[in-house]
Each structure stands twice: as C-alpha cells, then as structure tokens.
A and B are shown apart, each in its own frame.
Chain A
Amino acid sequence: MRVIISLVVVAILFALGWLGATLGMGRIVLGVVIPYLAAVLFLGGIIQRVMSWANSPVPFRIPTTCGQQKSLPWIKQEKLENPDTAIGVIGRMILEVFFFRSLLRNTKSEIVDKRRVVYGSELLLWIGALVMHWSFLIILIRHVRFFTAPTPYCITLMQQAEGFHKLGAPVFYVTSFLFLAAVAYLLVRRLGSPQLRYISLVNDYFPLFLLFGIAASGIWMRHVARTDVAAVKELAIGLVTFRPVVPETIMPLFFGHLLLVCVLVAYLPYSKLCHMAGVFLSPTRNLANTNRMKRHVNPWDYPVKVHTYEEYEDELRDKMKAAGLPVEKE
C-alpha cells in the first residue's frame, strides 16, 4: 500500500508536469513559479531545520568510541575511530560523510544449523549507498553547465572523464546509469527484505521513486527524446539571473522532469532527506573523546536534590560508631 501510494504520487506529479506544459499558462507555472517556490521552500526549510537542531544544545559529550582511547603513552590510540583532537574529529567526519565509514562495518547475522550465530560481511548496502550518493553529486555538479555561460573548465573536464562517445549519439555519462541502477537496487532491497519492508514508510518509498523518476526522465530526454539543450540552458540561466524566460522549443517531457526535481528540492528539508545536513551535527560522531581531559559544560544544568553526607551520617551514626567508623559529629 505504502509502495503504491508513493509510486502513484510520483507518477501523478510527473504527468502533471508533462501535461501541464501543453497548456497555455502551464509552462510559466512549471518553468518559473514552481522552481522559485521550491527554492524558497528549500532554503527556508533547511535553514529552519538546521537552526532547530542548533538551538537544542548538546548537554553531554557522548561520542560512540569505535577504537582504542588515548590513555597511556605506550598504548596506540586509534585516532580516527576514537579521536581526542579537532583534527581527528574532522578526519572521522570526512570518513563518515564521504565514505560512509560506519556503513562499511555492516554485517549480516544468521543462525545456522540451529546452533551457531554467524556474522558475515555485508557490503552491498554500503556499495549501493556510496554509488547512489556519489553519482548524484556528480550529476548535480554536471548540471551546473546549464546555469553557467561559459561552462567552467572543471566541469567540462569532469564530463570528459566520465563520458564516452559513440558516433552520432549524445555522450553517455556513466554516473547517470550508475545512479539509476543504485536507486533501483535500494528500492529492490527495501522491497525484498521482509524486515525492511515492515519498517518502511511512504516517507521511504516516495523519495526513491522520485529519484528514479528524475533519473529515468533525464536519461530519456538525453538519449531518446533529444530535448533542445540550448533552450533548457536559456531557461536555467534566466532563472538564476532573475530574468526568467520559457523558450517555446522546450518539450513538455522536460517539465515532468523539472517538476519532480522541484518536489524533491522542496521536500528535502521536511523529510528524512535532511540527514544530508544532520549527519554533520551527530553528537556521537562529531565530538572528541576528551571526556576526562576537558570539562564539558551543560548550558541548562540545574541543582538536584541529593542525599547529603550529613543526612546519611545523621541516620546511620550509631551504626557507624558501633562498626568503628569515624564520624563527623559525635
């Protein structure tokens, strides 16, 4: 049910974009109004979200340590898994954000022969996630060429590196297909495992279908329908220079693609996709294990009711004296 809802919503959105572009005012709404609206929702949402996290303090220093601590000088500390310096923390965060270090540890446990629990390495999720995120990033950077004239040299270079030519056909970009495959894998994985299916919400399927739709329509426009790239660039530059124009030669299919992108951008801050920003703030990862070295202050600390030594001795003085223990008051 959750799968179907998600799929149907994405399909409707795509159709709205496609068909809307055939109507008179539709192209202006889809090409100008919605992109600006999405940008506003994204910026407003992500700022609000990050501020809301930042406004909640970190009262205690609670890193999850994944290696040897710094203690005696002759014991080798694992500086990235259990950092005690800012540089170590930055290193740990780089490994986490760019290479998904924690996911790399993933294992799969199983009870075999009804007697032994065994653990195997399980890297498919790590590979799938890594391919999906990195391809996404590269595709995103590649799209910068639509918004800039002339195209920055580094982007041209990147395109040459991953593209391969076939005579008479548009350049194939490896990442487009890797991305599509990775998203498909994540979807199949989610549907294939009974446990995962059990925990999955619309909030999980919807973004996957959205990404799949965006990638598939993008590839379609490039290799099958052959959209007018120059016209799309005109639209894009118009948007970023705040002099929007919607050229007549852009095909309706493109507006389906664009609407899905806009929905993704607008949806991001209000959904689990905000992990993109949140991972940087995770207190189990971004704090150094300097717990006993430096005092960490809790900004909302308050006094609590304790049972003082005086009260304790008052209640137990006779017994303490009988046991030969020293007391403060005779």
Chain B
Amino acid sequence: MPKPDEPGYYKHEDLLSVDYRPPRTDWMDTPVDFRRGTYCYPGKVKNLKILDLPNAREWAVGDDDWKLPDDWKQTVLDGMAERLSKYRSFKLFMDICVRCGACADKCHFFIGGGDPKNMPVLRAELLRSIYRREFTTLGKVLGKIAGGRELTVDVIKEWFYYFHQCTECRRCSVFCPYGIDTAEITIMGRELLGLLGLYVNWVIEPVANCFLYGNHLAIQPHGLMDTLEFMVDDIEEATGIRVDLPMNKKGAEILFVVPSGDYVADPGIYTCMAYMVLFHELGLDYTFSTYASEGGNFGLFTSHEMMKRLNAKIYDEAKRLGVKWILGGECGHMWRVMHQYMDTMNGPADFLEVPKSPITGTVFDNARSTKMVHLMEFTADLIQHGKLKLDPSRNDHIRVTYHDSCNPARAMGILEEPRYVIRNVCNHFFEMPINTIREQTFCCGGGAGLGTDENMEIRLRGGLPRGNAVRYVQEKHGVNQLAAMCAIDRATLPTVCDYWAPGVKVTGITELVANALVLKGEKKRTHNLRLEPIPGMEENDEGAIPSDE
C-alpha cells in the first residue's frame, strides 16, 4: 500500500474531481485541516541553532501546542509594523486590493485543489485581516465589519499552512490590475512565522547546510570533487574526451555558479556534465568553487536577511579568486536572487569587470552592474556567432517542449534565449499552450521549498496545470521530453510528469546542447550523456541519419 508521501497513494480521478465550491462556514471561522500529504514537517532544532534562529524546539504540526514563545502575539505585531515601514510593497499590497478575484484561478494550487484559501486574494487576506484590525482606523473601530479579525494561535497555524502552499511563483501578479505580488505577501508571512521559530525543515535544513558548507546538500569539498570526477569519467565514456575540472582556481576569468541539485540529482547531473563539456570545448578559463558551490538560495524562502546571508559568498568568492565576472547555470529561483537582489544586498561588485564573452567578444551590457551572466544568454550568443558546431540530428529522437521556470520568466523575462538555443540543438520543438508558457507559465508545484515528499498531495495538485499542458503536447505532438532551466524543476517535474503525463522525461537545456555539440577529437557519439544509446547513431550505420518524420 502506498503512503501519503508517495504519488501512488493518490488516484487520478480523485485529484481531478476538484471541488471549487467554498465551504459553508465563513473563511474566518474555518480552521485548518492538517491532512497528511498536505503540509511540510517543522524545522529541526539543530538547523535553527546553526543559524541562530529564535525558539528552536521540538514540535510537530499535528500538536495542539506549537510551543510558541510567551510574547508571540506582540512579536508578530511588532514584526508586521517593522515590515510595513520597511517595504512599500507590503504596505501597499495590504491597502489596495479590491478583491476583484482576477487572481483566483491563476494559482496552480487553487486550480488543482479548489481550496479557497489558495486563491491568491484570500491567501493575502489571511494577513490583511490582521492588518486591518491592528493597523487601520476603520478596522480598529469597526472590527469584523471592516474585515478585521483577532490574531490567535489558529491564525498562526493557518499562516503556516497556507504560506507553505504558495511557491512564490508570481503568476497571480501578472494578472493583478495593481500588480499585487503574492510572493511578497508569502515572504512577509514566512518572515513573521520565522520570528516564532516556525520553519519548514525542507527549507531550513538546506539553508543551514548552505550556510556551513556552501551548498544546500551539505556536500563537502572532497565530496564535491569526487562527484564531479565521476562525471568527468562518464563524459569520457560518452564522448571520448576527458574534460578538465577547474575547482577553486585563483585567477580564472570566470566563476561558474550552479544550483547544487545539478551535482547529485538525476537528471540535473547530466546538465552539470553538459556544462563541463561545453566549457571544455570552448577552452573557457573558468572555475567552480566549493565555497560558492550553490547558486540557489533557500534564504529567499526564509527571509530577506537569510537570503542576504547565503548570497554573500558569491561576490566574496569572486573577489577571493580574483575572477573577472560570474556566469550562472540553469536555475530558477537562483536567478531571481542574482537578478533582483544580489547587487542590492551584497554589491557593489566594483572589483569585477563588465562581463565580456572571451569567445565572441560580446559585452553583456545588460549585466554591467551585477556582473553576472545567465548561461542561456552566453550560449545563445555563442550560437548566434556560429561558435558552436552543432549536429541537432543527434537529438532527433527527442521531441521536446520547453517549460519556462517561474522566476526567469517573471522576474527577468529571459524567454527567447532558451528557445533560440533549443531550436538550434533540436529539430523537434513544440510549445505548450500559450496560457501555460512565457510570463503565464505554471509552476512545477514544488518551488519555494515545497518540493518534499511529505507534501505530495499538494505537489501533485499544484503540478496539475503544468502536467496537463505537458500531456496536451504529448498527445498532440508526441512530445517525449520536457526541457527546463531550473534545478527545482529537474527535481520535481519528473514526479509531476510521471503522474500527469507518463512517458515524458525531464532534461536541462545545456544537456541538449552538449549532446548536439560536435567536439574536437570526439569519438563517434553513439551514446548521450546519460550513456543511453542514441537511436540512429548505432555503430554500424556509417553516415546514414534516419529521420523520424
């Protein structure tokens, strides 16, 4: 019998019979139902202690007593007041929502689950009702009639539940007539919970690991070397080329930063191998770093302060190693941090140079202050200059679709670069329906630190809109691979695809590039980086490239 943390526990017809009717009781009078499979486990004491976080103690979500500090209420109200005065976004988004409901069915968790508190508007109202009661004139005088409510322990429990059912994907903010961004609300909600020591372990453990060891997975330097050396061996087996593994190399031109998921998780590891293949072929003077071995930043899912604490190592390491600029791999939320926060939090990066591709001479003027370039910008530029010898027919057995990751799409707008790269390395590329891609892309359902198995029901429900769009192109175009430039996608979408669109595998984009890339001195490429035989490239059919059209 499968358990609630396994996809097999959930029947498709059950998950698809979404009941969108709200409960009979008013939302303020409807307490949270903590059902297994729909919440994440609490942060462990040791992790909170590593990070000097308050109220470290053993507790469980199912307990009646969450062991909040005695003055918890004042702590939360003071925390709200502080944040209202520090963030215009928060203050404004508390005030101007008209509850038009345009955001309601834009959230993947609402579409797949039907819980009204997963409508972005109501998620924000969970906080807004307290704001109205405690911080506005009308709310103080009129109370409930003006939409205010008392801050109670049940409200805190509700916050914990629903602020961990938001992946901070910002899809709702695209549709909001005032640009109200639920990610801002959720970030504030989680910061307030953090003041009481309420964290999710699947977030706070990676944070603690990252703080001590430089990456979310607590891979120590020698372990990282071992891991990457295995990859070097596999690359040699697939291509006949032994690539170099530059690590902590002082004086390299470029510091290369990736999400740590790419070191150990299938299929991310193939993307990591592909990075090394590409850079070796280019003869790029770059280095990985063990100290800055994580571009991802679960601090973003914890608090602004934690994000800054974890992000500091990127510039620090770039400075220590004396590189000229920074290149970033395929990751989603990492790029929200790098693009929208890093320079402000830990800059100025005045010790670096404006990034310039040593291969094409292109100056990345759009990154002139932050000095960090996205690998897809870098690769698109290489292809456009004809610097890569590509044989896309090696990917002819792949019928690929592309999943825009939330943060690169809605916090950067890097939409065309990855598509340009895919079109140049794959002959069979098919887009998913327009309402599910680009700025309207759907989250994988496991972002913002929710991709843990104990949260399986919510992940599958949240993954429905994406999974369903994948199945659409699978049925219509025979799509068998989904490309994504995000490590969380590569970790969670295999589950979503296996469940909602079985038969579709997940890949990084650079993996497709490296498989199509004709390397100097390579052996006949009969196997891809996964060491699977490439159809039509078997040993015997010299020169004949069959087509599947």
Residue numbers of A with Cβ under 8 A of B are 5, 49, 52-72, 74-76, 78, 81-82, 84, 96, 100, 102-103, 105-109, 111, 114-117, 119, 125, 129, 193-204, 270-272, 274-275, 278-279, 281-285, 289, 291-298, 300-301, 304-309, 312-313, 315-316, 319-320, 322-326, 328
Contact = CB atoms under 8 A, between A and B. Distances in A.
Given A102-B177, A199-B122, 7 more contacts: A61-B344, A62-B89, A69-B366, A103-B100, A109-B465, A125-B102, A324-B225
29 contacts: A53-B95, A58-B89, A60-B340, A62-B340, A62-B411, A64-B170, A64-B174, A66-B439, A69-B412, A72-B377, A102-B102, A114-B13, A196-B101, A203-B146, A284-B89, A292-B343, A292-B368, A292-B369, A295-B347, A297-B344, A298-B344, A304-B312, A313-B291, A319-B221, A323-B226, A324-B225, A325-B248, A326-B248, A328-B320
A4 B412 CA distance: 46
B327 interface: no
B116 A198 contact: yes
A243 to B, nearest CB: 33
A66 B176 CA distance: 12
Nearest to B367: A292
* Interface residues of chain A: helix, strand, loop or mixed (majority): loop
Contact of B366 (A71, A111, A194): A71
A147 B348 CA distance: 55
A49 B97 CA distance: 15
A282 B179 contact: yes
Contacts of A283: 88-89, 92, 179
Nearest to B309: A304
Interface of B: 13, 16-18, 20-22, 27, 52, 84-92, 95-102, 104-106, 111, 116, 119, 121-122, 125, 136-138, 145-147, 170, 173-181, 184, 211-214, 220-222, 225-226, 247-250, 290-291, 304-305, 308-309, 312-313, 316-317, 320, 339-341, 343-345, 347-348, 362, 364-370, 372, 377, 380-381, 384, 409-417, 420, 433, 435-436, 438-440, 464-465, 468-469, 472
A119 B433 contact: yes
B291 A309 contact: yes
Would you list the 9 A-B pairs with minimal beta carbon distance, nearest first?
A69-B413, A65-B413, A323-B222, A278-B96, A284-B179, A119-B435, A292-B370, A275-B96, A198-B22
Contact of A295 (B291, B369, B409): B369
Nearest to A279: B178
B182 to A, nearest CB: 11
A72 B225 contact: no
Contacts of B222: 319-320, 322-323, 325
A252 to B, nearest CB: 29
Contacts of B370: 291-292
Contacts of A78: 413
Contacts of B13: 114
Contacts of A105: 174-175, 440
A53 B90 CA distance: 10
A202 B146 contact: yes
Contact of A115 (B16, B21, B339, B344): B16
B344 A59 contact: yes
A71 B417 contact: yes
B174 A66 contact: yes
Given A75-B416, A75-B420, A82-B413, A272 B340 contact: no
Given A103-B177, A107-B435, A312 B214 contact: yes
Nearest to A196: B101
B316 A309 contact: yes
A319 B248 CA distance: 14
B96 A274 contact: yes
Given A66-B410, A291-B370, A309-B317, A199 B88 contact: no
